[in-house]
Amino acid sequence: MTKPRNRILALGFLASLAAAGCGVGVPRATIPAASVLSSQSGPEIGRELEVRVELTPGGYRKLEALGGWSEAKSREDCYFDAFDGRGWSWRPIPDPWKLRIKRKTKGLELQLRHALARESAPQGDLPLAATLWELWEEAPPDPSVARLWNPAIALLTVSRSGQLPVAGACLSVHEAWLRQAWVGSSALQGALRDHRGVLLPTHTALKLRQEREVTLEGGETYTLVIGRSTSVDARGGAVERFEVEASPDRPDVDPSVAIRAVSSWLETRGLHRPDVAPAPVDVTLNAARVYADVPGLVPGSTARF
C-alpha cells in the first residue's frame, strides 16, 4: 500500500525564500539554486497534517493485533539540528524545524519539515496532537546524498566510541548541507537565517512501520501508521519508542476534526489512556553535550551541560 502524498505544491513559497537572500548560520556559504522542475527524483514541496501519539509497547501490540496493516517497512533515519554553542536552536521555538536523511531500501532521501501550527486534544481525551507541516523532500542521486550521510554517521560513530570529534569534521558536515542542491535548499537557508547554528547530526533511529487506509469522520480518507523505532544517541544510549500517526489525504482538514476522528477510531478499537506512553527521553541532549566540548566549533561558546 502506498501512502497518499498529502501534498499541495507551494512553489511560490520556495521562490519567496530564495528571494529573501542567503544569510545563513555559522559558517556562511553559498548554496546552489535547486532545480525543482528538472529533477528526475520527484522532488516535492507541500503540506501535511499529522495526528500522532506515543504508545506503550502494549498499546502498540493492541493495534498491531487488529490486522489489516501493510507489510512492515524498515528504514534508518539520521537527524540533524542547528547547534548554536548552547543547544539546538531549531527546537525550543513555537515553530520548530526538523531535518533528516532517510535511508530506505530504494536509496537515500532528504526531508526538511517546518511546523506551521499545532493543536492538542481536549483534556480528558486521548492525548493526540495534530501538527500541520510544511515540507520539502527529495531523493537526489545517491553519491550526492552519501556526501552528507557518511560524514554524519562517522561523527556519531566517533562520539559513541567515547572520543571527541574535531571541529573541522563537524564543520564539513555543515558545509556539505550548504552545498547540497535540492528542493529544500532555499528553505534551509531561511531556517538558518532565523535560527543560526552549525548543522550537525543528533542521533539515528531504526524504524519499522506498517500502514493502512481508513475512511473516518466526514468521509475523509486517512493513512494510519503504527511504528516502532530504536533511537541511538551520540553516546550510544538506545531508546525504544512506539507510536501511531494518521494523515488525511487533504492537509486542509480542520485539526480538531482530525483529532476527533482519529481518536474515535482508536478508542472503538480498544486503545485507551493507559496505552499512551509518557513523553520520551530527549535523545538529542548527549549530542549537544559532545559538541559543546569541541574546541573552536562555535567561537565564544561557554555552554556547560
Q: What is the CATH number of the domain that holds 155?
A: 2.40.320.10
Cβ atoms within 10 Å of 243's Cβ, excluding its own:
19
Q: Do the Cβ atoms of 132 and 115 come closer than 8 Å?
A: yes
Go through the chain and tell me how many residues it has: 305
pLDDT at 8 over 60: no
Task: Give the mean pLDDT of the chain.
Answer: 86
Give domain status of residue 205, yes or no.
yes
Cα angle, residue 303 at apex, residues 30 and 201 outer, rounded to 5°: 45
Q: Do the Cβ atoms of 70 and 210 come closer than 8 Å?
A: yes
Give domain status of residue 6, yes or no.
no
Give domain status of residue 304, yes or no.
no
Of 285, 269, 271, 221, residue with least CA distance to 243: 271
Q: Do the Cβ atoms of 264 and 217 come closer than 8 Å?
A: yes
Mean pLDDT of 252-279: 96
How many domains is the chain partitioned into structurally?
Answer: 1
* Per-residue pLDDT tens digits for 114-126: 999 999 999 888 9
Question: Where does the pLDDT of residue 10 fall: very low under 50, low under 70, confident under 90, or very high at 90 and above?
Answer: very low
Per-residue cell: 285:
541532549
What share of the chain in percent tops pLDDT 90? 77
pLDDT at 2 over 50: no
> How many whole angstroms separate alpha carbon 109 and alpha carbon 119?
28
pLDDT at 305 over 90: no
Give domain status of residue 9, yes or no.
no
* Per-residue pLDDT tens digits for 145-165: 999 999 999 999 999 999 999
For residue 89, the model assigns a pLDDT of: 95
Give domain status of residue 11, yes or no.
no
pLDDT at 87 over 80: yes
Question: Where does the pLDDT of residue 24 fall: very low under 50, low under 70, confident under 90, or very high at 90 and above?
Answer: very low
> Distances from the Cα of 299 to the Cαs of 27, 288, 295, in angstroms?
11, 15, 8
Q: Residue 249 phi/psi, 5° resolution?
A: -60, -35
Q: Do the Cβ atoms of 131 and 259 come closer than 8 Å?
A: no
For residue 25, the model assigns a pLDDT of: 32
Give domain status of residue 96, yes or no.
yes
> How many whole angstroms separate alpha carbon 219 and alpha carbon 214?
9
- Comparing 27-36, 103-112, 206-215, the range with the smallest average pLDDT is 27-36
pLDDT at 39 over 80: no
**Rg of the chain over CA atoms, in angstroms?**
20
Mean pLDDT of 81-98: 92
Give domain status of residue 14, yes or no.
no
Give domain status of residue 109, yes or no.
yes
Cβ atoms within 10 Å of 16's Cβ, excluding its own:
12
105: containing domain: 44-292
* Per-residue pLDDT tens digits for 185-225: 999 999 999 999 999 999 999 999 999 999 998 899 999 99
For residue 300, the model assigns a pLDDT of: 59
pLDDT at 303 over 60: no
Helix (H) or strand (E) holding 52: strand 44-55
pLDDT at 104 over 50: yes
- Comparing 14-18, 91-95, 160-164, 237-241, the range with the smallest average pLDDT is 14-18
pTM score of the predicted model: 0.85
